[in-house]
Structures are given as structure tokens and as C-alpha cells.
Amino acid sequence: MTTNSQHAALNEFAEWIPWVRDVRERGRAVWLEPISPGTWSLREVLTYIMHCDCNSMEVMIPNMAEGTFFVDIEENNRQAHGRRSSTRIGMR
């Protein structure tokens, strides 16, 4: 049985489908173009978020389970910044 919150989450994700299709149709160049002048590209933003998610799962959550919650945010940002241009995001 699906709850209202599950329906809401599915509807929210469904709203992304047209955007993803548009990105796919525009091709590889869309990943490398800055979102606006002087800003990061879509690829850089997504790889930064991917790094932060991995750091949360691999560092922050285990630390919380052990009763400690100190994360060097500046170090995390430095690592993520370094990976934002080198991480591969696949496109057809």
C-alpha cells in the first residue's frame, strides 16, 4: 500500500523527468556550460553534491553512530572542490 507521502515523493521526482530529457537532448555541452556567467557548470554542481552525499554516508553517519559529530566542513569543501571537475558523470 502506498501512503500519501510516498505519492508526494513520486510526484516530486516525476517533475524532474522533463528536465532530464531536455538535458539529454541538449547533449554533452550542457554539462560543461556554466549555469550563469562566473558560476559552476551542471557537472561541477552535481559532482560536488555527489561528494557531499558520499562524505555524509562514509564519514558523518558513522561518526554519529559512534557518538561523535565533528566534521571539518572546510576540508570537505576542499576535497569536493578538487573533485568537481575530475569526476565522471556518464551521458549517452
| pLDDT tens per residue, range 7-21 | 888 888 888 888 888
Q: What is the predicted pLDDT for the residue at 90?
A: 54
Q: What is the predicted pLDDT for the residue at 92?
A: 44
Encoded amino acid at 65, one letter? A
For the record, the C-alpha cell of 81 comes out as 572542490
Q: What are phi and psi of 34, to 5 degrees?
A: -60, 145
Q: Which residues make beta-bridge pairs with 41? A: 34
The whole-model pTM stands at: 0.56
pLDDT, one tens digit per residue, over 45-83 is 888 888 888 888 888 788 777 777 666 778 777 777 776
Encode burial over 9-35: b for 16+ CB neighbours within 10 A, e otherwise: eeeeeeeeeeeeeeeeeeeeeebeeee
Q: How many whole angstroms separate alpha carbon 71 and alpha carbon 14?
A: 34
